[in-house]
Structure 1
Amino acid sequence: MKQGVLLIAVLTLNGCSSISPQECEVGDWFAIGKTDGQQGIASSKFRSYQKECAEHGLGSDFKAYEQGHAEGVLLYCTYDAGRELGQSGGAYNKVCTGALEPTFRLGYDRGRKWYQAESALLNLQKTLEQNAGTIEKLEQRIDDNTRELSVLKDKQQKQNLLDENRNLLQDLRQLNQMQGQLQRDLKQAELQFSLIQQGG
C-alpha cells in the first residue's frame, strides 16, 4: 500500500508525463488508474505507460488500470470539477460519459460562461488602460507643441506645429469617444460577470 502511495506521489510530481522502470516494477496499476481518473486524464494515457514499461522490458496491467480509472472517474465527474475546468479555460474533455456526463457538463458550461465573461471584462479593462495611456501621451505632445509655439519665430515651423496639433486634437477626440464607449461596455461586462457569479 505504501509503495502505491509513493508511486502516485511520484507520478503526480512528474505530471504523469512518464513512468520509470521502478514504477513499472512496482506496478500498482489500479492506483495509477485511479489517480489518472481523479485528475480527468483519459484512460488512453495507459498506452504511453505501456510503451515506456515495455522499453524497460517490463509489463503493465491494463485491466487493473482500467478498474482504478473507472473508480477515479466517479470522483472526478462532478459538477464542481466541471465548473473548475470551465472557469480555468480548459477544453472540454470526454472522460465523463454516459450518466456521468450531464452533471459534469452543466458545471463545465457554467464555468465556461464565467471564464468568458471574466476574460471579456479583463480585456476591456486592459484596452481602457492602454487607451488612457495613449490619450495622456497625445495630451502631453499637444502641451509640448503649444509651449514650443510660444517661442518659435519661424512661420513654417509654427505652421507645422499648428498642423500637427490639429491632427493630434482630432485623434484625441476620437480616442475620448472610444474611451466613453469602452467605459459603457465595461459597465455592461461587469454587470454580466456579476450575474454569472451570482448564478454559481
Structure 2
Amino acid sequence: MNKLVLTGFVLAAVVLAGCQSMSESECKVADWGRVGLSDGTRGESEKLLADYTEDCGKTGVVPNAQAYRKGWDEGIKHFCTAANGWREGQAGHSGKDQVCVGQTGYEGFSRALNAGLQVYRTQQRMNSNTQETNRLQKQLEASKSDDEKRQIRDRMGLIDKDQFRLRSLLGQQQLLAPQP
C-alpha cells in the first residue's frame, strides 16, 4: 500500500512539474534567442512562448518575445527537413507537421513524415500480430480439442501470411527514407 501511495505522489509531482515550462531561476537567466532557437530546432510550437510568459510573469520576468521569435525562426528551419520528418514519422509523432506549415522545408518534411508514419503503422501492425500469435500459442498449448487446435493453427497461419506481407511492405516503405 505504501508503495502505491508513493507512486501516486511521484506521478502527481511529474504531472505538476510538466505544467511549468520554466523555473524561476531559468526565467531570470534565460537567453530568449537561444531558448527560441532550441525550441524551434526541436520542432516545438512557437506558442510555447505564451507558457514562458505566464510562468516567468509570476516571477516578474517578461520574456523577450522578439529575440525568442528570431531564434525560433532560425531553429525551425533546421527542424523542418525531410530527415526530421522521417524520424518523427517513424516515432509516430504526426502532430509535428503543423509547426512546419508555411516553412521553407514543409513539402519535404511533410512527405517524409507521412512515409515515416506508414512505416510506424506497419511496425505497429506487425507488433500486434506478434502479440496475437503469442496469445494463440498459449491457447493452443492449453487446448484439449483437436478441432479447437486446428482452428487456432488456421488463425496462426493467417497471421503468418499477414506478417510475410507486412515484412515485404515494410521493406518497400523503408526504401522511401530520405537520403542524406
Q: Please confirm whether the aligned pair reaches a TM-score higher than 0.5, indicating the same fold.
A: yes
Q: How far does residue 171 in structure 1 lie from its aligned partner after superposition?
A: 1.7
Instruction: Work out which of the residue numbers 132, 153, 160 in structure 2 matches 1:176.
Output: 153
SS in 2 for 1:19: coil
Letter in 1 for 2:45: A
Letter in 2 for 1:84: R
Q: How far does residue 198 in structure 1 lie from its aligned partner after superposition?
A: 2.8
Q: C-alpha deviations, 1:122-145, integer Å up to 9, x for none?
A: 21122112211211111xxx3xxx
Q: How far does residue 106 in structure 1 lie from its aligned partner after superposition?
A: 1.1
Give the Cα separation in 2 of the matches to 1:136 and 1:54. 63
Aligned to 1:133: 138
Give the Cα separation in 2 of the matches to 1:32 and 1:17. 15
Identity over aligned pairs, percent = 25
Aligned to 2:99: 95
Asked whether the equivalents of residues 32 and 67 of structure 2 are also in contact (C-alpha less than 8 Å), the reply is yes
Asked whether the equivalents of residues 86 and 92 of structure 1 are also in contact (C-alpha less than 8 Å), the reply is no
SS in 1 for 2:22: coil
Q: C-alpha deviations, 1:16-53, integer Å up to 9, x for none?
A: 95212222222310000000000000000011111111
Q: C-alpha deviations, 1:53-93, integer Å up to 9, x for none?
A: 11011221111100000000011100011111100011232
Give the Cα separation in 2 of the matches to 1:35 and 1:134. 51
Q: How far does residue 188 in structure 1 lie from its aligned partner after superposition?
A: 0.8
Runs of 4+, deviation exceeding 3 Å? 14-17
Give the Cα separation in 2 of the matches to 1:43 and 1:84. 21
Asked whether the equivalents of residues 85 and 108 of structure 1 are also in contact (C-alpha less than 8 Å), the reply is yes
Aligned to 1:48: 51
Q: C-alpha deviations, 1:136-157, integer Å up to 9, x for none?
A: 111xxx3xxxxxxxxxxxxxxx
Give the Cα separation in 2 of the matches to 1:17 and 1:111. 31
Instruction: Work out which of the residue numbers 73, 77, 91 in structure 2 matches 1:74.
Output: 77
Computing the radius of gyration from Cα coordinates, the structure with the larger value is 1
Q: TM-score, normalised by structure 2?
A: 0.82
Q: Does 1:113 align with 2:118?
A: yes
Aligned residues: 159
Give the Cα separation in 1 of the matches to 2:60 and 2:176. 53
Give the Cα separation in 2 of the matches to 1:15 and 1:28. 21
Letter in 2 for 1:135: L
**Structure 1, unaligned stretches of length 5 or more?**
1-13, 143-167
**Structure 2, unaligned stretches of length 5 or more?**
1-16
Give the Cα separation in 2 of the matches to 1:15 and 1:80. 28
The alpha-carbon distance between structure 1 residues 16 and 26, as it changes in their structure 2 partners (threshold 3 A), is: farther
Q: How far does residue 199 in structure 1 lie from its aligned partner after superposition?
A: 3.0
